[in-house]
Amino acid sequence: MAKATNIPGKKVPQGKYSAFVPAPLPPTLDWTPRLIGLLSDADRLIGKLAGEGGRLPNPHVLMRPFTRREAVLSSKIEGTQATLGELLAAEAGIAVERSPDDMREVGNYVVALEHGMARLKQLPICVRLIKELHEKLMTDVRGHHASRGEFRKIQNWIGKPGSTIETASFVPPPPDEVEPCLAAWEKFLNESDLPPLITIALAHYQFEAIHPFLDGNGRVGRLLITMFLIERKILPAPLLYLSAFFEASRRDYYDSLRGVSERGEWQDWIEYFLLGVARMSEDAVNRAGRINAKLAEWQKTIAGESTKTPLRVVELLAANPFITAKGSVEKLGIAFTTAQRAIERLERLGIVQQAGTAKRDRVYCAKALLDILEEPAQL
């Protein structure tokens, strides 16, 4: 266990409980050989992902299913049950049985990320942008009454179901401390001269410790990691998502965050975070490479066809493995019968299979691509 290098914050008595107010960043770090080695690995592997991402024939098309994967996994950490297959199917216009609330929560994550990416062209990551992200996340979902886009005015806490504020495992700052804490957080994020991956590791912990909203803090905090990497031009497109790592090692994620607040274990948290960056960079390079290889294989198979429509339909599968004739008509501007014939050609070649047994409005899926996207993260 790493030794505390300095105090992470202070407990402020509030009657029957105490709230934790984090100290301004950065802490004093102990640049051990292990920390330097993990930072070097993470930098090298995220650099490889950036390079591969820039060379992909269709990085912006591939971004779409990767974004959806992050939305599903980040929401899953908070208890949402929707799967990636369900989200992609719903976006292709297919009715799914999952609860509308779950589907909306995951869909809102995608909307918030896309909004944040667009806003980065106009302003840096700041308190104003955080409020905008939260407003998008919490629109028409459970907890939407929880002041969407506004910082909390009452005390919140984190604990097991049924716990009270007196028995909570963590009580974040009192409401009147939220904005001063976030102002210091914003200043650190935009002025830090530490290596970028160290900066965002520290900032992610601090945001979760401040817990500025009544609901949605975890999702906003994870969105900000992706946006920071884009803003700093570490990645050309949002191809790295740490929610897969946090979800696969959920207990370590929460234990590492709590270790900072309770014992000042900054080193352990940063090492865990850097390990996640390295693992998920490798995972993304591998996943994107296999998807592109599969698409190239299919394109080669149908390259000699007399009509180009099957080739154009294969290109659509890169954005979403689920496809319908109606969707192809809308995206490609072709006749319905042309679209249906092209999909049936892909079905005969084993590229897509019909999902379900409907006779009308049939849905098809390129299961080989969906399987790659749905594979659990390799830690």
On whether both 363 and 264 belong to a single domain, the answer is no
On whether both 168 and 241 belong to a single domain, the answer is yes
On whether both 252 and 310 belong to a single domain, the answer is no
CA distances 200 to 1, 25, 98, 166, Å, are 22, 11, 34, 31
On whether both 66 and 125 belong to a single domain, the answer is yes
Average pLDDT over residues 196-222: 96
In a domain, 2, yes or no: no
Confidence of residue 240 (pLDDT cuts 50, 70, 90): confident
Indicate the residue among 243, 261, 286 that finishes a domain.
286
Q: Is the pLDDT of residue 4 over 50?
A: no
In a domain, 379, yes or no: no
Are the beta carbons of 119 and 132 closer than 8 angstroms?
A: yes
* Domain interval for residue 332: 291-374
23 against 54, higher pLDDT:
23
At 127 the pLDDT is: 97
Q: Chain-wide mean pLDDT for the chain?
A: 91
In a domain, 299, yes or no: yes
At 1 the pLDDT is: 41
What's the pLDDT tens digit per position in 254-284? 999 999 999 999 999 999 999 999 999 999 9
Indicate the residue among 286, 312, 328 that finishes a domain.
286
Are the beta carbons of 152 and 213 closer than 8 angstroms?
A: yes
On whether both 199 and 223 belong to a single domain, the answer is yes
Average pLDDT over residues 121-142: 93
In a domain, 4, yes or no: no
Indicate the residue among 246, 262, 286 that finishes a domain.
286
On whether both 323 and 238 belong to a single domain, the answer is no
On whether both 173 and 79 belong to a single domain, the answer is yes
On whether both 352 and 319 belong to a single domain, the answer is yes
In a domain, 301, yes or no: yes
Confidence of residue 342 (pLDDT cuts 50, 70, 90): very high
Average pLDDT over residues 28-32: 94
307 against 122, higher pLDDT:
122
CATH of the domain at 335: 1.10.10.10
On whether both 223 and 303 belong to a single domain, the answer is no
On whether both 359 and 320 belong to a single domain, the answer is yes
In a domain, 1, yes or no: no
Q: Is the pLDDT of residue 5 over 60?
A: no
CATH of the domain at 140: 1.10.3290.10
The whole-angstrom distance between residue 378's C-alpha and the CA centroid of its chain comes to 16
115 against 141, higher pLDDT:
115
On whether both 98 and 156 belong to a single domain, the answer is yes
At 169 the pLDDT is: 92
On whether both 61 and 147 belong to a single domain, the answer is yes
- If one counts the domains in the chain, the total is 2
Peptide bond into 22 cis (omega under 30): no
Q: State which of 212-216, 270-274, 306-310, 312-316 shows the largest mean pLDDT.
A: 270-274
In a domain, 306, yes or no: yes
In a domain, 105, yes or no: yes
Residues 287, 289, 294, 299: what is their CA dihedral angle, to the nearest 10 degrees? Answer: 140
80 against 206, higher pLDDT:
206
